[in-house]
Structure 1
């Protein structure tokens, strides 16, 4: 019996090959797109879950509100880890990570700058699941000047994973012994390092400084511990340990400090939430965004729904033509359950075929999608464990829903009514199909508006006046490796033809190199007269090279020895000071963590605010101080042949440091990388929106063909009576265009609200323009009309004699 159902289903589908192809291709395209998005979402949600104790691991965050600024940091004080482990029985283990900005590692005659270096406590392997292939995890990071490396790093430097006992030369002077080799960290980790250096090597790790937040501290809670209850103990912890230092520095107790509106609070962030829900200062890596997961998850559901709607629409539309077949089958003795089984088997067969094709499309497009999304996803045996059952369930559900209308509705009719044609009028209204078409174009128009808004915001970001000029600025990294020769390199580069300006400092608007300090307006260090600001050390060429404008006062000058105690503040810092004219105002900067000593400065200039951080955030105070910093060399170039100039700069570098790799970027590229997630999202959105429109148009194309087929006799009569092609096309198109118009009315407010919520994530944003809505609406109408017109014109040009004869 089942074999007969399949054979009959195959013949029926073959007979209507055009509609079958549209059904299969539309559904396959929707399923393939949905699969790719599901892979992306699953990958994003799987971060840090490779840790076997992930449910019990938390990171300590610090929220600081002081000096007019309120910020939360992913870092915490040095003594916090030991305090957790020694004083709180809830904590099983604590571990700290400390970023140092990388090391220069010697390999033969070559010096390689390794950025993926971090200092770690010896408890690292008790907290995180980092399987070791060589060495003892209990002893690996106990001693100073020891290091644990990854497998790929061991192979890169020693051509073997058995590297325990071998040594590295860091920064051309310090020897570090390899005490362990671990497997490469999974891609789904919120930090990625190749070198884990013993924390015992860092002097600052032993300091009892509760107001210096440089360490990323993690705790492993004991089984059964309630994190919220444990977190409730933190205020008492801060009062006990940070309170005495607060008293020494500002001569305030914690109650007075907080009553003045300040805050210095500790909190916990679950490890599994860090990648998607944490974008704080001092993160160990660039994290994702849960908002994008929600958006893409919704898009996947919408695309799958549109594909299913297409399938259901065409299935129900074609079922009208089979009413007479149902009547004949019933007259010949077919039972209702046999008819139901027949219709469902056809529907499930089409769905299964579409699913197989979708799997193949997704498999071959996965590398392309990885390239666009910046991922490294792959189909593994583990993926198939959940994917195959999910797809089989999808086949059954979609097949059943699409086949349920003809199966249960048609099979219930009386044969005499069907054969007399009394049901034909029941298929002309098509309220269900009309509703589904509206739904399809509602989704399509919403996505079109969303894509246009995202594109508009990205364009706004790229063209916004940031307060500095990043165009044609070459940034040479690691200039500090040149030592005393760094000034020589700077001066020689400055003399090259095509060089417009040179500044030497690692503090750049597009860099992650930051330094935050509290600066006081009074010698008594009154917190009410404090400004929490970025304090950057720059030279006298900084402003001119980067095109930062002075609004008051003057620039630094190498001809003025007193400028060693001079400051230039941005407009935001000047505003927070609450003074009418900040020029020549004294400012006091603590020179150590306990503020036992401080240095007096005087403000010599005020600069226009510039965006040194993401445009998601407002500009915060910046204070520039005159001095020497060799973190990087920024070169403003204006050469017709930048390649030749680059070669000359590289030659200068090699002549001073022949074994050291020449590393550089361009400032505009560094800026763009800060918004890579948004750029990728925009690209993916454009692709998915295009696919959604294609899928919707496939369904509309099929329905238009069905509508034209159903009205063949009417079209023939109208042509005989003198109707022209335009009139017939208009007649066939207007009903569908009305449905698109209804979809526009529903989609516009929904899309407007959704994108307004997305834009709230940017402190600097472009409002949704009126033309975005108009363009989306016009595009939807044009796309629908073009799709419908193909079938309408074909029907209008048909010979009326033939159509009437066939009827």
Structure 2
């Protein structure tokens, strides 16, 4: 019987080649897209789940509101982890990581720059908390001595050409020898830790200071078996009272309760390591994270695309019902049961879906490299990496076939043979309200995706073009200026002699991802917690504001002719507001330089700079100030030339003259700014791609449906033409039913899209307003797409000679 079902199914598919090709192609595109999104979602939710004890690893977070500043931090005070292990038996082990920026690694006579995201100081217990497989070396003894490090196998191969390099020496920053005491496996790409160099924490002096108010260390805990995170979080208040309270009391004469009463707070919390990638967007993350919203969005998009493809199948199959009605009638007269007919139609559906799925796998394999480029991932369809992929795909094929074929099977098998054989079966698009509902759903999803795509594109464009309070265009940042040693100023002056260079400044503090330093400031003589203002404190030189293109709105810039400016300070508008100064020029404020001893340094406000965005546009502009000081992290130059490559070559030549053997690394400020929004850009590109695919699949179904609608109304069209109807009349006749459905889809999609995009935009402090014309464009676009799709078939039907369509009458 099954063989017979299969044979009949093959004959029907072959007899209706056009229908079969349309359905198979639409389904294969939908399934291939769904598979790619599924790989993306699986990769996103797999982050940091590969550790043997992942369910017991937690990161400590801190939430602080103090001095007019509110911060959610992924870092903790240096002594926190050790105190928890010492005082509370709930904790089995603790480990800290402190990232300190990029390093230079000696390879022969060459210095190679390693990105700061790949480098971190770490406690020796890091290998107890995390189950990093150590290929060579002893994890129990690693990082227990000064000037030692553990590297990944990739780094061992890169610098030594072999994996077992334990005992060998690496020269860092052109001066410090480090002994390799371990080589670990390369960390998987689905890890929020990207570190290849683990330097011993013993070499980081600040790690030994008993300071409970400075937050700089990413701290991980390994809880003991059976311990719930809530049990440990219950002791955090006692921890704060025991260690933080006395230091607050010593500095300000206030207790933690006094801080809470004034509206300030300090809270600690735990986050599972497996939640960090999708649920954490805090200050000082060890690497950029994603957002669980995108997982939900793309999961929904995959579902909708697959559903649209299945709807196409159901629409086309039911639209063809008239062509197979007599077949059903004859079968029933000859004794076929309805169940047999259902099995027959489901067999056809599963067979078609199986063919589509094989084609979809091929499409997926071909498109995966492009998809990896768009998403910034390294996903594969390897059965080894995804052992469940084969059974999942088989079940997926069966499910899709049953879902897509269920309605046609039950619909066709329900025909009454007497009515069918008398020719009384109703025909046309109007005969099925369900089919109309499915068309509405298809274009509802398409219009929804069009609106979301336009809003996402608007927001990304807004980010790129927003007035930031500084000019990011044509600013060249030369990184790792510390390699110049005492010649940094000479390098700057040499480059400024080039006619293509307008200005230059030496500092590691820039309004793009770079150095950051928080400090507490007070009105002079009022060192009290209720008077504290938390401010980003940046050391700059005399040329900083001019080079960055910032605007002084009150007072003046630093002046080389005024020696008193060594104790001068420039604040932004937010800082002035937090101090409550309407005219801050000449006011004296003090910076707290030592928390325990309450040592301060007084400054005179000489200027107020217009607010500028120095953090992500997801956040409101915080308080920042400039003081004159030495911070040679980078040298930035504003260029005034169109021939950028030639100018860079000249600057590089001067670098090599002053610092031979040191790598010349640079970036442009606008590129550094854009990199902050890599996640949104990738999501935007993916969303646009998927939206276009969804619209294409919907149009493919509408194309096939309009073809069958025209076929079923061939004689009606012939009669209308004989009676004088024009081609435009025929096109309008066949198009109006579909266009009504598109209008209904628009009415439902508009409020849904508005709600979804309003929710997404809430993550940005600076965002576009959703304009009414976005909905108008999306609605008109959907109508035009539908009209063009249907009109092709309508015109084709209208051009048929009525003699041919009526010759059987």
Indicate how the Cα distance of structure 1 residues 626 and 364 shifts in structure 2: closer, same or farther if over 3 A, else same. same
Query: Is the 8 Å Cα contact of residues 212 and 593 (structure 1) preserved in structure 2?
Result: no
Counterpart in 2 of 1:56? 56
Residue equivalent to 1:591: 593
Work out whether 1:369 is the aligned partner of 2:371: yes
Partner in structure 2 of residue 300 of structure 1:
302
Deviation at 1:2, TM superposition (A): 1.5
Aligned equivalents of 2:102 and 2:415: distance in 1?
77
Contact 1:320 1:427 in 2 (8 A): no
Q: Which runs of structure 2 are paired with 1:313-712 in the superposition (5 Å)?
A: 313-424=315-426, 428-712=430-714
Where 1:422 maps in the other structure, the secondary structure is: coil
How far the C-alpha of 1:378 sits from its partner, in A, is 1.1
Q: Pick the aligned partner of 2:143 from 141, 144, 159.
A: 141
- Contact kept? 1:315, 1:402, Cα under 8 Å: no
Mapped partners of 2:9, 2:328: distance in 1 = 14
CA drift of 1:522 comes to 3.4
1: CA distance between counterparts of 2:189 and 2:335? Answer: 62
Root-mean-square deviation over aligned CA pairs: 1.3
Identify which of 740, 746, 766 aligns with 1:764: 766
Aligned equivalents of 1:128, 1:693: Cα separation in 2: 46
> C-alpha offsets along residues 106-164 of structure 1, whole Å, 9 cap, x if unaligned?
22111122222100001111111210110000001111111000001011111111100
Match 1:776 to one of 778, 781, 790? 778
In 2, Cα distance between the equivalents of 1:394 and 1:320?
30
Does the aligned pair in 1 maintain the 2:429–2:435 contact within 8 Å? no
CA contact (8 A) 2:537 2:627 kept: yes
1:154 correspondence with 2:156: yes
In 2, distance between residues paired with 1:426 and 1:366?
40
Structure-2 change in CA distance of 1:413 and 1:621 (3 Å) = same
- Matched residue, 2:744: 742
8 Å CA contact 2:319–2:428 kept in 1: the answer is no
Distance 1:537 1:314 in 2: 69
Q: 2-side partners of 1:282 and 1:403: how far apart? A: 52
SS at match of 2:216: strand
Deviations 1:531-582 (A, max 9, x none): 1011000011011111100000111122222211111000000001012211
State the shift of 1:257 in Å. Answer: 1.7
Report the more deviating stretch, 247-256 or 546-555: 247-256
498-507 vs 673-682, which deviates more? Answer: 673-682
Q: Deviation digits for residues 49-101 of structure 1, max 9, x if unmatched?
A: 11111111111111111111111110000000110111111101100001111
> How far did 1:422 drift?
2.6
Gaps of 5+ in 2: none
Q: 1:126 to 1:582 in 2, by over 3 A?
A: same
Query: Aligned-pair distance for 1:344?
Result: 1.1
Task: Name the stretch that deviates more: 555-564 or 739-748.
Answer: 555-564
For the residues of structure 1 that align with 2:761 and 2:425, how far apart are their CA atoms?
Answer: 52
Residue 102 (structure 1) shift: 2.6
How far is the alpha carbon of 1:427 from its aligned partner?
A: 7.5
Offset, 1:178? 0.4
Q: Does 1:171 align with 2:173?
A: yes
Bigger drift between 229-238 and 515-524 goes to 515-524
**Maintained 8 Å contact 2:428/2:712:** no
Counterpart residue number, 1:9? 9
For 2:757, what is the secondary structure of its paired residue? helix
User: TM-score by structure 2 length?
Assistant: 0.98
Q: Distance in 2 between matches of 1:27 and 1:148?
A: 50
2:17 pairs with 1:22 = no
C-alpha contact 1:58 1:269 (8 A) present in aligned 2: yes
Bigger shift: 403-412 or 539-548? Answer: 403-412
CA distance in structure 1 between the partners assigned to 2:435 and 2:631 by the alignment: 69
1:247-286 alpha-carbon deviations (Å, 9 max, x no partner): 1111111111221111122111111111111111111011
**Does the 8 Å contact 2:313/2:405 carry over to 1?**
no
SS at match of 1:416: helix
Equivalent in the alignment of 2:263: 261
Report the more deviating stretch, 374-383 or 565-574: 374-383
Structure-1 separation of matches of 2:376 and 2:704: 37
Q: Who is 2:250 aligned against?
A: 248
Which has the larger displacement, 758-767 or 588-597? Answer: 588-597
The aligned counterpart of 2:108 is: 108
Q: Which residue of 2 aligns with 1:46?
A: 46
State how far apart, in whole Å, the 1-side matches of 2:110 and 2:673 are: 30
Distance 2:271 2:128 in 1: 19
Give distance in 2, aligned partners of 1:261 and 1:407: 66
**Preserved contact between residue 508 and residue 514 of structure 2 (Cα < 8 Å):** no
Moved more, 742-751 or 417-426: 417-426
Structure 1 383/111 Cα, relative in aligned 2: closer, same or farther at 3 Å? closer
Provide the secondary structure at the position in 1 that maps to 2:431: coil
Name the CA distance, whole Å, in 1 between partners of 2:364 and 2:450: 23
SS in 1 for 2:594: coil
